[in-house]
């Protein structure tokens, strides 16, 4: 026996044109090309200081946009680089990962924060990426000492335009 099916028109909100991101001179999210450019700058610095690194770039929400594991980078640092970038994103780009190290260390007022949100990391190597002062993404670097990770991340972030 045939069944009658009514057709429903989509609500107007579903048929309205989507605004073009290209019209916005200050994008709210990195493009893939920008993420790749940041990674290239990180690779350049990591190569210069001879520290094979894992490099992660996320959008402002902490979702991975691009990732590179340099030849020779230690495998454990894959997750570390991504968590550094995600930690920056979880704080809305207001802090570098090392900025809250003392506050989240044992005895600090935010101790235990690192156990939230599926694991945050508060040692150096995670930095916000900003365009015209607006937080558009995050970068996490891991593979060397904390100081080396900070060097690589800082150089890569400085290259972002």
Tell me the pLDDT tens digit for each residue of 20-34.
444 444 458 899 999
What's the sign of the alpha-carbon dihedral 62, 32, 93, 99? positive
- The reply to whether 116 falls in a domain is yes
| Structure confidence at residue 3 as a pLDDT band (50, 70, 90) | low
Q: 57 has which bridge partners?
A: 66, 139
Average pLDDT of every residue of the chain: 88
- The reply to whether 9 falls in a domain is no
Range of the domain at 57: 30-159
Rounded to a whole number of angstroms, the distance between the first and last alpha carbons of the chain is 64
Average pLDDT for 50-56: 98
Q: Residue 112 sits in a domain of what CATH number?
A: 3.30.450.150
Say if residue 61's pLDDT is above 80. Answer: yes
Nearest Cα to 82, choosing from 55, 110, 105, 47?
A: 55
- How high is the pLDDT of residue 123? 94
Say if residue 13's pLDDT is above 90. Answer: no
- The reply to whether 25 falls in a domain is no
């Amino acid at each position: 026996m045939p069944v009658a099916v009514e057709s429903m028109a989509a609500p107007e909100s579903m048929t309205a044109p989507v605004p073009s991101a290209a019209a916005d001179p200050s994008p709210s999210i990195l493009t893939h090309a920008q993420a790749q450019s940041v990674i290239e700058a990180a690779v350049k610095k990591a190569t210069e200081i001879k520290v094979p690194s894992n490099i992660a770039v996320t959008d402002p929400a902490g979702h991975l946009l691009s990732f590179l594991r340099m030849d020779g980078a230690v495998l454990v640092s894959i997750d570390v680089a991504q968590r550094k970038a995600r930690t920056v994103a979880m704080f809305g780009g207001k802090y570098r990962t090392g900025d809250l190290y003392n506050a989240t260390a044992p005895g600090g007022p935010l101790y235990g924060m690192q156990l939230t949100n599926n694991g945050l990391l508060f040692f150096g190597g995670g930095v916000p990426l900003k365009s015209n002062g607006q937080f558009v993404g995050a970068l996490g670097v891991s593979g060397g000492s904390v100081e080396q990770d900070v060097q690589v991340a800082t150089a890569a972030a400085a290259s972002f335009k």
